[in-house]
Amino acid sequence: MESGAEIPSYDSVNQSITSPGSTEGSVALDRQSVPANAFLGERVLTFPDADSYEAYLAGLARLELAPITQIDSLRSVRVSRDTLAKLNPDDFGAKSDFSYRVQAPLPPVETNPELLNALRPYALSAYSIAGGAVEGQGQGIVVAIVDSGIEEHALLDATAITEMDFTGDGHQQASHGTAVASIVAGRQGVAPQAELLSVRVLDKNGEGSGFDLAAAIIESVDFGAQIINMSLGVYEDIPVLREAVGYAQAKGVVLVAAAGNDGRGVLPYPAAYSGVLAVTAVDATGRQAIFPNRSKQIDVAAPGVGIEVAAEDGGHSFFSGTSAAAPFISGTLATLMSEGVSGAQAVEILKQHLNDSGAPGVDPLYGAGVMDWGRLRERGIPELHDIAMASVYMDRRGAPGKSSPMLLTVQNRGTSWLPGATLEFTPETGAVQTFSIGSMQPGEIQTREVYVSLPTSSDDVYIFTATASLKDGLVDVHPDNDIERMRFQNRP
């Protein structure tokens, strides 16, 4: 589904290695299990203070050795097996961790193909999907694309791009980063005039080091990036990566990350870290895209099925996955920030104007809701009345043929307080049920419960209509979102 996409589900096979000269209990590479996603023959060392860190580096220099890479601000180094064997970091009070791989999200491989085929692609550019820039054009905002690098492309020829490379292999296989970049900026991006910092941490195989990802975050912050987009991840909680995320957050930088395409009940890091905006994907109907990971840590849902993007060969392609959804959020924040609001303010504005979906309120599929660029544009227009039929939710674990609760949620998507509304539930057969909705502030939701009998076989279909309407005398500016027509059917 996604070119170079989300984190694979690693098996539990362990690998063992032995380091000559190592001692039992040492942080050197002794005989112990190495996680399947860790690099063989490497460790990450972190020192308790500057003196011990400098002493270790000086010791390496005397032996004419050097770390693979280092992050001075975090007092951390990535070192090889041979280096560990020649200078014991225990003597310097170092803490040791495995060095883990990060990857761009892999395509969903275990998801039901029939369900995937039922998803509706957008088949449009990001700029068209968003309806143009929200306010500003992203001017003056630097968005770091921490990814596989960015190839030259006509869609980005007017975009200011600065490059950093943590892989050393140039622009080989930069299709993933190029696609992500074209959603953020350029001729078809959400924030056409945003500046890009291309930070290559993924190699030609779509893999990189968690240590290098941490270094990339810090370098991006120090360069001046206000937003960092990370359409990649790793399921291990890497201490040095956690510290780098904290460094960026302390500087007021907004971090946005893909939620992953593995259909799991957990998120990869950095999306799983507190304060990082974790983005899931929806299709053109607004449905959760089946393949994303599900978690209460999901923050927001954005388009992620069949997005038209820049291809590495200079042409166009269609890009799917949470890797496509994340840059929609990064670009939108850039447009808001280019009008003078801070990163924190932009995030709050975005969250206040999401469309509730799925289970009422924040849920593991949609987070706080789905992006709505129209609401962002209209937020400054007073006295707009807009009642919406936000979602219809049924727990699919209900027993076929048994009476089960269905939750009907309405939302005030206007800019004005509503004195009340009416909700009408009309099944294809059976009695109509009418509910009174109390007064609602802008953005507020209210839910009513009805009981229905789930179909008993794949031949049975339950069809109904749910309609929200305003009180007499009020004009709904968006009547198209007042009605939900749905059908429930048991799949064999």
Confidence grade of residue 491 (pLDDT, cut at 50, 70, 90): low
pLDDT tens for 319-333 read: 999 999 999 999 999
pLDDT of 7 strictly over 70: no
Rounded distance, CA 170 to CA 166, Å? 9
Retrieve residue 113's tokens.
């193909």
Rounded distance, CA 328 to CA 231, Å? 11
CATH topology of domain 103-375: Rossmann fold (3.40.50)
Higher-pLDDT residue of 3, 157: 157
pLDDT tens for 178-223 read: 999 999 999 999 999 999 999 999 998 899 999 999 999 999 999 9
pLDDT of 17 strictly over 70: no
Q: Are 325 and 280 in contact (CB under 8 A)?
A: yes
- State residue 314 phi and psi, 5-degree precision: 95, -5
Which has the closest alpha carbon to 130: 329, 282, 277? 329
Cis peptide before 108 (omega within 30 of 0): no
Residues of the chain with CATH 2.60.40.10: 382-489
pLDDT of 492 strictly over 60: no
User: What confidence score (pLDDT) does residue 86 get?
Assistant: 95
pLDDT of 14 strictly over 70: no
Retrieve residue 352's tokens.
């206040």
User: What confidence score (pLDDT) does residue 252 get?
Assistant: 98
User: What confidence score (pLDDT) does residue 329 get?
Assistant: 98
pLDDT tens for 249-267 read: 999 999 999 999 999 999 9
Confidence grade of residue 439 (pLDDT, cut at 50, 70, 90): very high
Higher-pLDDT residue of 341, 462: 341
User: What confidence score (pLDDT) does residue 106 get?
Assistant: 76
pLDDT tens for 359-405 read: 999 999 999 999 999 999 999 999 999 999 999 998 765 555 677 88
Rounded distance, CA 314 to CA 411, Å? 43
- State residue 445 phi and psi, 5-degree precision: -115, 155
pLDDT of 33 strictly over 60: yes
The DSSP string of 95-164 is EEE--BEEEPPBPP-SS-HHHHHHSPP--EEHHHHHTS-SSS--TT-EEEEEES-----GGGTTS-EEEE
Whether CATH 2.60.40.10 fits 382-489: yes
Rounded distance, CA 241 to CA 229, Å? 15
Confidence grade of residue 5 (pLDDT, cut at 50, 70, 90): very low
Confidence grade of residue 314 (pLDDT, cut at 50, 70, 90): confident
Which has the closest alpha carbon to 104: 365, 326, 313, 283? 326
User: What confidence score (pLDDT) does residue 31 get?
Assistant: 43
Which has the closest alpha carbon to 231: 173, 106, 147, 149? 147
Q: Reduced to 3 states, what is the DSSP secondary structure of residue 378?
A: helix
Q: At what angle do helices 210-223 and 239-250 cross, to 10 degrees?
A: 10
Q: Report which listed range, 44-53, 131-140, 199-208, 450-459, is most confident.
A: 44-53
pLDDT-above-90 percentage for the chain? 78
Q: Which residues are catalytic?
A: 147, 176, 323
Q: Which residues touch 117 (CB under 8 Å, ≥6 apart)? A: none
Residue-level length of the chain: 492
Higher-pLDDT residue of 448, 116: 448
CATH topology of domain 15-99: Alpha-Beta Plaits (3.30.70)
What value does the mean pLDDT take over residues 72-97?
96
Least confident of 117-131, 280-294, 442-456: 442-456
User: What confidence score (pLDDT) does residue 110 get?
Assistant: 59
Residues of the chain with CATH 3.30.70: 15-99
User: What confidence score (pLDDT) does residue 377 get?
Assistant: 96
User: What confidence score (pLDDT) does residue 403 get?
Assistant: 78
